[in-house]
Amino acid sequence: MAIAPVGGKMRRHCKFLLATSAALGAVAVSAVLFSVQAQNTEFIPVTEADLLNPDPADWLMLNRTYDEQRYSPLDQINRDNVGDLRMAWSRGLPRGAQETTPIVHDGVMYLVQPGAGVLAVDGATGDQIWEYWRDIPRAAVEFVGEPETARTKNIAIYEDMIYYPAPDGYLVALGASDGEMRWETQIFEPSSSTEHTGGVLVADGKVITNRTCETREGCFIAAHDAMTGEEVWKFYNTPAPGTEHGESWGEVPLERRVASSWGLPGSYDPERKITYWGISNPKPYTRLSRHGSPEGTSQTAPSDLYSNSTVAIDVETGELSWYYQHLPGDDWDADHLHERTLLTTRFEPDPDAVKWINPNIARGEERDAVVAVGEAGGIWLLDRATGEFLWANPFPYDVPEFHLSDIDVETGAARINWNNVFKQDGDRHLNCYHNTRSFWSTAYDPTRNSLYIPFHDSCLDMTANMAAPSGWGPRTGVMRPGSDPEKFLSIAKIDLGTGEMNILFSQSVPGNGSALVTGGDLLFWGDMGRRFRAFDSDTGEVLWEQVVGGIVQTSTITYAVDGRQYVAILTGDGASGTAGPASLTGVATFRGHNEIYVFALPE
């Protein structure tokens, strides 16, 4: 792949108003210099040690830490004083899609701006330090869309560089102190119909990225050297014919073995040197379209690997260590991807709370585990070292329309719900669940061994359509039959030792906000009705609420500058994860309001 250092074909520029007056020009330049001077005089690099054990004042990656727990030990804001929380600053952002989460280091916030930009601001004031704008060639726009449609989930920081997976297929390294391009490397050709809708993880000196794809050549997770941009390894999301697990696709030719990794980036276990990622559904969506027959692939795992799977990848080599398939031979675009949260827990699942439990594991045994929650519902706990099945449950509720009919508790092999599978063109089925969670992150509190999951009680009404390239049409999200519309959105708290679920909060308004738990015994989360709230993380009691200008979109983080704790969110619109729930519930809200909101206690 082509690698260009500073001065490559893409240019960095600042969006300043041009003035013919020298005086006006001097004012503009001085404003920029003032912003830069607001930083610390000497940039402090982010080392591997920092990434392994980040300062609580920083938020260095998508979900703060490699284990993706989204737990912050900061406790200056707590359940006793959160009612005094006030807006510290806000800052508008350009128009466009917004699915990103900011990072913070040493008092500076870095984030993707809608329209293919990166912005650095003072974390205490929102004042601009620098910005970078990517010029997307018109030839690339034809395939990846206008820059305003880009859906980058996050950027990353390591040493003195910011890493940005740009919409035109390049990975770009920028100077963290000035935004100047250090290097760029092309990861894919836009003409391959591949897009950077995922994010980035820096681990073991490598920048690891994921993406969406329409042909197999773009269906991969890639690692590049963080210092040079050179490709280190590439893991394809589907195996080729004649290779290990290649038979799981039957007679499907190589180029049609498609499964993307479009969502949230993976987690990392530095002791085992394993990184864990979710792979999404196979394409086209139905068995009829992929295989010509619903019987063209197995009803039980493995089928169409590594679709709808957790993959554990050796970070040094890119080789597969193990996989677990959550749904074999998907028929509905079920999407079992997004973050894989790492934790350590005792194995004590309650049979009254958990449907599928491995009987061969001694109760009370402590396990290093990885937890996965699918867009189509379901929660799985797997052994982190081997992928051994521990337990699973049809989250949020066990209904006949759930997309799995069974899991072999001895082996962990899942079986698709054959009643929901399209047997012939024109069949119509209701399948549960649908976007019950999506590109918004869950949160895990290690002090309570509890996972917090904002979810929608939504299913999918879908018709098979062989004439459509996707294999479906029409297709729409619906409220689960028999459910309470006033409880369409709920926040669940699940004990990962016992599997017991408690519903902390419910409402009719959907949400796209990521959950955040803190050492202050608080859960923060925001919805599509413009409400950002702080809850008691034990009881779910609403302790504080703020109305903002638009839809709270993913993003929820906390950090500290000069000893003062802040909580930040971004507002804006995502893609179908926003449009679907908004249309289904008819929520009256303001669409397309892109802004940063930051809150703190009074000084």
Per the confidence metrics, is the pTM higher than 0.85? yes
Over residues 133-145, the mean pLDDT reads 94
Q: What pLDDT, on a 0 to 100 scale, did the predictor assign at position 38? A: 42
For all residues of the chain together, what is the average pLDDT? 93
Alpha-carbon distance 455 to 69, whole Å? 17
Residues near 442 by beta carbon (within 8 Å), at least 6 away in sequence: 70, 339, 341, 373, 451, 452, 453, 454, 514, 515
Cα 386 to Cα 273, 323, 361, 406, 542: the distances in Å are 13, 9, 14, 22, 40
Task: Identify whether the C-beta of residue 307 lies closer than 8 Å to the C-beta of residue 260.
Answer: no
Q: What pLDDT, on a 0 to 100 scale, did the predictor assign at position 19? A: 29
Q: What pLDDT, on a 0 to 100 scale, did the predictor assign at position 501? A: 98
H helical segments located in 415-488: none
Evaluate if residue 337 carries a pLDDT over 80: yes
Evaluate if residue 7 carries a pLDDT over 70: no
Evaluate if residue 11 carries a pLDDT over 90: no
The residue ranking higher by pLDDT, 538 or 39, is 538
pLDDT band at residue 291 under the 50/70/90 scheme: very high
Going by the DSSP 8-state scheme, the letter that residue 112 receives in this structure is E
Which three-class secondary structure state does DSSP give residue 472? Answer: strand
Over residues 423-440, the mean pLDDT reads 97
pLDDT band at residue 79 under the 50/70/90 scheme: very high
Task: Identify whether the C-beta of residue 134 lies closer than 8 Å to the C-beta of residue 147.
Answer: yes
Evaluate if residue 330 carries a pLDDT over 60: yes
Token pair for residue 574? 């995502």
Other residues' Cβ atoms within 10 Å of the Cβ of residue 603: 6
CA 68 to chain CA centroid, nearest Å:
10
Q: What pLDDT, on a 0 to 100 scale, did the predictor assign at position 425? A: 97
Evaluate if residue 28 carries a pLDDT over 50: no
Evaluate if residue 102 carries a pLDDT over 50: yes
Which three-class secondary structure state does DSSP give residue 490? Answer: strand
pLDDT band at residue 41 under the 50/70/90 scheme: low
Residue whose token pair is 């906000």: 513
Query: First and final CA of the chain: distance in angstroms?
Result: 51
Going by the DSSP 8-state scheme, the letter that residue 255 receives in this structure is G
Evaluate if residue 308 carries a pLDDT over 90: yes
Going by the DSSP 8-state scheme, the letter that residue 81 receives in this structure is T
Rg (CA), the chain: 23
| H or E stretch at 582 | helix 576-585
How buried is residue 410: exposed, middle or buried, by Cβ count under 10 Å (0-12/13-18/19+)? Answer: exposed
pLDDT band at residue 412 under the 50/70/90 scheme: very high
Q: Which of 270, 228, 272, 344 is nearest to 50 (CA)?
A: 270
Q: What pLDDT, on a 0 to 100 scale, did the predictor assign at position 8? A: 33
In the chain, the amino acid numbered 599 is: F
Q: What pLDDT, on a 0 to 100 scale, did the predictor assign at position 17? A: 26
| H or E stretch at 288 | helix 287-291
Evaluate if residue 322 carries a pLDDT over 60: yes
Evaluate if residue 196 carries a pLDDT over 90: yes
pLDDT digits (tens, 9 = 90+) for 483-498: 999 999 999 999 999 9
Evaluate if residue 57 carries a pLDDT over 50: yes
pLDDT digits (tens, 9 = 90+) for 358-407: 999 999 999 999 999 999 999 999 999 999 999 999 999 999 999 999 99
Over residues 441-468, the mean pLDDT reads 98
Percent of the chain with pLDDT over 90: 92
Q: What pLDDT, on a 0 to 100 scale, did the predictor assign at position 594? A: 98
Q: Which of 378, 390, 280 is nearest to 338 (CA)?
A: 280
- Strands (DSSP E) along 204-306, which ranges? 206-209, 220-225, 231-236, 258-259, 267-269, 274-278, 282-283
Number of residues assigned to the chain? 603
Q: What angle do CA 592, 164, 256 make, to 5 degrees?
A: 85
Task: Order the strands of the 206-209 sheet from edge to edge.
Answer: 200-203, 206-209, 220-225, 231-236
